[in-house]
Amino acid sequence: MGDTGRRSQEISPGFCFADGLASLALLRQGMKDKTSDGVYDWNVTGASICYLGLQFLCYFLLTLGLELLPLHKLTAITVKEWWMKCWRNNLTNLKSETSSPSLEPFLAPSSEHVIPDFDLDVDVAAERNRVLSGSIDNAIIYLSNLRKVYPGENYLHKKIAVDSLTFSVQEGECFGFLGTNGAGKTTTLSMLTGEESPSEGTAFIFGKDIRTDPKAARCDIGYCPQFDALLEFLTAKEHLELYARIKGVPELKIDDVVMEKLVDFDLLKHANKPSYSLSGGNKRKLSVAIAMIGEPPVVILDEPSTGMDPIAKRVMWDVISRISTRRGKTAVILTTHSMNEAQALCTRIGIMVGGRLRCIGSPQHLKTRFGNHLELEVKPHEIHSEDLYNFCQHIREGFFDFPSHSRSLLNDIEVCIGAIEPITPENQSVSEITLSRQMLTIIGRWLGNEERIKTLVSSSTAPGVFGEQLTEQLFRDGSIPLPIFSEWWLATEKFSEINSFILSSFSGATFHGFNGLSMKYQLPYGEDGLSLADAFGHIERNRKQLGIAEYSLSQSTLETIFNHFASNS
C-alpha cells in the first residue's frame, strides 16, 4: 500500500486500531525492523495510539457541534440574514467609534422592520410605547419588536410568522393570546421558551434576554406545548416526579408536590398508568400539571384545554386563576380558541391576526371599544295548534275537496315526520295533502304573497325559521305536506312582523340570521346609537302584541369582536 493510501486510512479509528494490533503481533513474531524494539515505538503502536487520541478529540468536538448547533435552521436565507446582520453590526460599530456616544433609549427598536405607530391600533401603540420607554412596573415578561421570519417553500418566499410584537405581562396577570389559525401565537411562545430563535427583536423574562441568555430565561418558565410532549412508558406520577426533580423541588417535598398536582388535576386514578394509555384529555391535564409543577413564576400554556371535557376544563380554570390572580405572583400566558375560556380566565387579552397584534386590553375594555352594537336575540311564540288547524282548513276548503276528519292536527304532523303509524284510507286528513311546486305558487298568489313562495320553489333558501329544511324537502321529494307548509307560512308571517318592527324601530339595526328558532340582530349602541334601557323599554312595550316569547339583549361578546378582527384581516 502506498504512503498516501495509508495516510488516508489513518483517519478511520478502525484502521488505526487494527494497524496497532497488527504491528504488535509482527513485533512479537520478530518480523519488525530492528529499529522498532519497544511496544510504544512510533512504528509499532505509538502512531496508532496518537491517531486514535486525535480522532477521539475531533469526533467528540464534531458530535458536540452537531448536538448544539441548530443545523436544521441553517438555510440559505438564515445564512444570508446572519451575514447581513454581521455586516450591519460592523457598520454600526464603525459609526459609534467615529461619533460621540449617545444615550440609547431603553430597549430601542432593533430593526427597520418596526411597524409605524400610525399603522397600529391606539391601545397596541400605547402598550408598545410604554414597553419601549421602559415604564413597565412589575412586568415579568416583556417582548420588544419580536419578529420571526421562516423561509418559505423552496426558500423562495419568506413567511413572516410574527411581526414586531411588543407587549408586557405583569405578575398576577393572565394574558390571553387569541388569534386565527396561523396567526403566530405558537411561534411567539416557542421563541419565549427558546424552541425557536427570534429573527429580530427580543423578549425579557425576569430581565433575562431570550437571545443572549436563553438558558437563564427558560429557568423561570413552566411550559405546556400545543402537542403533549410525554414519554410513552412513564406513568403520570413518574412524569411529575421527573419534572419536579428537573425543576429543583427539594427531594423531601417531591411526594407532596406530585400528590397535590395529581389531586388538583383529578389524575389520581390514572397516576400509575403509562402515558401512552391515557386518553387525550388526561394527557392534556398531565401536560398542564407538568407546566405548573415547582410553582414557576411564568406559566405558558398553548391551548391547554384542547380535548378536555367541560368538568376538567372548569377544574383547570380554577387552578389557573388560583395561581395567577389569587396567588398574585405568577404571570400566565395562555393561547386559546375558546372565547369562554378567555373571558373566564384572562385579565388582559391580545388578538393576533397575520403575525400582528390587532388589539390589546381587558375583556371589558375590548367589548366597550370594539363592541359598538347590542346583540338582540328574539324568539317568537310557537304557532298555536288551533291557528295551524284553522289555516290548514282554510287552504283545504279553498283548493281541495276532502272530508274533514276528527284527528288532531298535531297527530297529522307527527304522521308527516314519521313519528306515528301511517295514514290508512279510513283516517284520511289534511296531512295527506301534499303540495307540489305549481300548487304552492297558486296558493302563494291566492294568499297574496307570491314573492314568499318564489323563494321556496326556487333554488335559493326560503326565508323563515326553518325555510332551509323546507326548500331541501321540496327539492328532494318534489312536494311538501300541507301542515308543514302551513306551519312555515305562519312562522314566516310572524317573523316578518317582528322583523319589520325591529328594523323600523331601531335605525341601523341589521338582521344576522337564525339561531335555532330565534332571530339574531345587531343594534347600534353607544354615543350615536341607543342605550340598553331604551332598547329594553321599546321591546318590552310591544312584546305581547308581536308574540315574542323571549328575548335577550347584550353587549357584544368577545366572539363577535374576534370575528370582526378575523374577517378584517
Ligand X SMILES: Nc1ncnc2c1ncn2[C@@H]1O[C@H](COP(=O)(O)OP(=O)(O)OP(=O)(O)O)[C@@H](O)[C@H]1O
Least separation in angstroms between residue 297's CB and ligand X is: 24
Q: Which is nearer to ligand X, 77 or 344 (CB)?
A: 77
**Any contact of residue 179 with ligand X (CB under 6 A)?**
yes
Q: Which residues contact 257 (CB under 8 A, 6 or more apart)?
A: 240, 244, 249, 293, 294
Which residue stretch of 182-190, 504-512, 539-547, 556-564 sits at the interface with ligand X (rule: CB under 6 A)? 182-190
Q: Which is nearer to ligand X, 48 or 180 (CB)?
A: 180
| Torsion sign over Cα 205, 206, 212, 218 | negative
Q: Which is nearer to ligand X, 73 or 322 (CB)?
A: 73
Which residue stretch of 34-42, 58-66, 176-184, 532-540 sits at the interface with ligand X (rule: CB under 6 A)? 176-184
**Any contact of residue 35 with ligand X (CB under 6 A)?**
no
What gap in Å lies between CA 161 and CA 377, rounded to an integer?
Answer: 38
Which cell numbers in the block locate residue 318? 380554577
What is the x/- site pattern for ligand X, positions 111-140, by CB under 6 A? Answer: ------------------------------
The one-letter amino acid code at 30 reads G
**Any contact of residue 185 with ligand X (CB under 6 A)?**
yes
**Any contact of residue 23 with ligand X (CB under 6 A)?**
no
Least separation in angstroms between residue 225's CB and ligand X is: 11
**Any contact of residue 181 with ligand X (CB under 6 A)?**
yes
- DSSP reduced 3-state for 290: helix
* In 466-531, alpha helices (H): 467-477, 482-505
**Any contact of residue 150 with ligand X (CB under 6 A)?**
yes
What is the x/- site pattern for ligand X, positions 206-235, by CB under 6 A? Answer: --------------------x---------
Q: Which is nearer to ligand X, 102 or 568 (CB)?
A: 568
Closest CA to 351 of 196, 189, 184, 205: 184
**Any contact of residue 186 with ligand X (CB under 6 A)?**
yes
**Any contact of residue 144 with ligand X (CB under 6 A)?**
no
Residue of 13, 109, 182, 281 that binds ligand X (CB under 6 A): 182
Using Cβ positions, the residue closest to ligand X within the complex turns out to be 186
**Any contact of residue 159 with ligand X (CB under 6 A)?**
yes
**Any contact of residue 161 with ligand X (CB under 6 A)?**
yes
What gap in Å lies between CA 108 and CA 95, rounded to an integer?
Answer: 17
The site that binds ligand X (CB under 6 A) totals a number of residues, namely 12
Q: Which is nearer to ligand X, 299 or 439 (CB)?
A: 299
Q: Strand 174-179 relative to strand 348-353: parallel, antiparallel, unpaired?
A: parallel
Least separation in angstroms between residue 496's CB and ligand X is: 41
Residue of 20, 172, 176, 184 that binds ligand X (CB under 6 A): 184
Least separation in angstroms between residue 358's CB and ligand X is: 13
What gap in Å lies between CA 348 and CA 362, rounded to an integer?
Answer: 4
Q: Which is nearer to ligand X, 31 or 156 (CB)?
A: 156
Q: Which is nearer to ligand X, 338 or 518 (CB)?
A: 338
Least separation in angstroms between residue 226's CB and ligand X is: 6
Instruction: Give CA separation, 117 vs 105, 153, 165, 271, in Å.
Output: 17, 31, 13, 52
The one-letter amino acid code at 161 reads A
**410, 420 in Cβ contact below 8 A?**
no
| Torsion sign over Cα 41, 43, 44, 46 | positive
What gap in Å lies between CA 12 and CA 361, rounded to an integer?
Answer: 63
What gap in Å lies between CA 142 and CA 72, rounded to an integer?
Answer: 28
Angle between helices 558-567 and 363-370 in degrees, nearest 10: 60
Query: Cell numbers 464603525 label which residue?
Result: 94
**145, 165 in Cβ contact below 8 A?**
yes
Which cell numbers in the block locate residue 401? 275537496
Q: Which is nearer to ligand X, 177 or 488 (CB)?
A: 177
Report the alpha-carbon angle 209-115-185, nearest 5: 55
Least separation in angstroms between residue 182's CB and ligand X is: 4
Which spans of this chain sit near ligand X (rule: CB under 6 A)? 150, 159, 161, 179, 181-187, 226
